[in-house]
Amino acid sequence: MIISVRKDIRLRIGSLGEMEFKKGRYAYAGSAQRALPARLCRHLKSSKKLFWHIDYLLKDENVSLTKVFVFPASAKVDEHKIIRRLLAFSCQPVWRFGSSDCKFSCPAHLVRLQLKISLSKTFPQATALNSRQLKNLCSFRSSFGRKIK
């Protein structure tokens, strides 16, 4: 997920406590493998129970989800590979964010992106969905009930 933070903010992120987020673009890597549409639609909701670290960030009025990169199952890409690849491009980890239970010792599953990195070129096997496409997906999904996959 690509997230835009429009100005410097300070937020309480669940058990992580107070954290500072500088203005800029961030990438969050997660693994909602079996329930991807439901998880993405949940992230777009304005009212929800705050559960994951990302929920606390996305609820702020200065933060928006701008794009999602979806990988085909055949690509065998998980959040750990994505984060390692982004860290190799000198992206800055937001320490422990989304990775407090990571078994692969990732420093974070949220990184602040460098200005010049192109995620479409970095991950050519992924399909990019912008926020409008995500909202359309969620509208379509909700019109058929919660069971659609």
* Mean pLDDT to the nearest integer, 89-106: 92
Angle formed by the axes of helices 131-143 and 36-44, nearest 10°: 110
Residue of 73, 87, 69 lying closest to 30 (CA atoms): 69
Given a cut of 50, whether residue 144 has pLDDT beyond it is yes
Phi, psi torsion values for 8, nearest 5 degrees: -60, 130
Q: Where along the chain do its domains lie? A: 2-143
Q: Please tell me the pTM assigned to this model.
A: 0.88
Phi, psi torsion values for 41, nearest 5 degrees: -65, -35
Summarised one tens digit per residue, pLDDT across range 18-74 is: 999 999 999 999 877 677 888 888 888 888 899 999 999 999 999 999 999 988 878
Are 105 and 87 in contact by the 8 Å Cβ rule? The answer is no
